[in-house]
Amino acid sequence: MTIGIIGSGAIGTALARVLSRAEIEATISNSRGPDSLKDLVRELGPSIKPGTREEAARADIVFVAVNWTKLPAAMTGLPDWNGRIVVDANNPIEAPLFKPADLGGRVSSAVFADLVPGARVVKAFNHLRADLLATDPRSDGGQRVLFYSGDDAAAKAEIAALIERLGFAGLDLGSLEVGGKLAQFPGGPLPNQNLIRIS
Ligand SMILES: NC(=O)c1ccc[n+]([C@@H]2O[C@H](COP(=O)([O-])OP(=O)(O)OC[C@H]3O[C@@H](n4cnc5c(N)ncnc54)[C@H](OP(=O)(O)O)[C@@H]3O)[C@@H](O)[C@H]2O)c1
């Protein structure tokens, strides 16, 4: 299983950090190219490699963490998705104005899914602040909860397994329509809920 990350900002880096902590290999990318990522990957550790957006997009599982209005450009001209898994870690709002995007009444993951035709989209890794997401998920006497949702059961099972391997407690919220909305910021009640599963 190969992993790519598109976006190397707050959330892309947090994703890379949790993967690195679990010694899982991944290719991280941004709009400026691999050279701009040299210092970051040195700090992240040996399992994280810099790559182009296209290289990251060829992985079996592709995390996308890009500013909402920049997503169309970031998802353009990539190889066919062919059923590969794309994790939507995005929210339909962005700095500095924090004005919610006009989604035409749809859940943001449905809008996002239109940008990655043929991919199996799983919504996850979007409900916590980046600094919290990056910290050790085994804390406060338990495991930090990560929500996930999606319409493809097998894709969700793969992401659920990865979430557990990273040390989080995964919680399946159902379909993109239902679960995506619950965890979406703004719109759902779950963003910023730092829940811990005590086992
Ligand atoms: N920050 C949070 O705490 C938080 C929490 C939950 C969810 N989110 C969501 O996560 C997503 C990313 O947020 P962020 O805070 O990580 O943003 P960010 O720090 O501004 O980083 C955005 C990243 O997107 C990359 N990017 C922009 N255009 C691109 C393109 N055409 N091709 C490839 N990469 C491109 C940027 O690369 P360059 O720098 O090279 O342009 C940058 O690495 C957003 O949808 C946000 O709503 C954020």
139 pLDDT higher than 90:
no
199 pLDDT higher than 90:
no
State the pLDDT at residue 140: 86
Q: What percent of the chain has pLDDT over 70?
A: 100
Pocket residue to mutate for ligand 1, from 35, 53, 67, most atoms within 8 A of Cβ = 67
State the pLDDT at residue 181: 96
The pairing of strands 138-139 and 142-150 is antiparallel
Contact 25, 47 (CB under 8 A): yes
Dmax over Cα atoms in the chain, in whole Å? 45
Dist. CA 174 → ligand 1 center (Å): 25
Within 6 A (CB) of ligand 1 lie: 6-12, 30-32, 53, 65-68, 70, 73-74, 89-91, 93-94, 126, 129-130
Q: For the beta carbon of residue 135, count every other beta carbon within 10 angstroms.
A: 14
Tens digit of each residue's pLDDT (9 = 90 or more) over 49-64: 999 999 999 999 999 9
Dist. CA 6 → ligand 1 center (Å): 8
Question: What is the number of alpha carbons within 13 Å of residue 30 lying toward its C-beta?
Answer: 18
Contact 68, 103 (CB under 8 A): no
State the pLDDT at residue 153: 98
Q: Using CA atoms, how far apart are residues 139 and 61, in angstroms rounded to an integer?
A: 27
| pTM of the entire predicted model | 0.98
What's phi and psi for 39, nearest 5 deg?
-65, -40
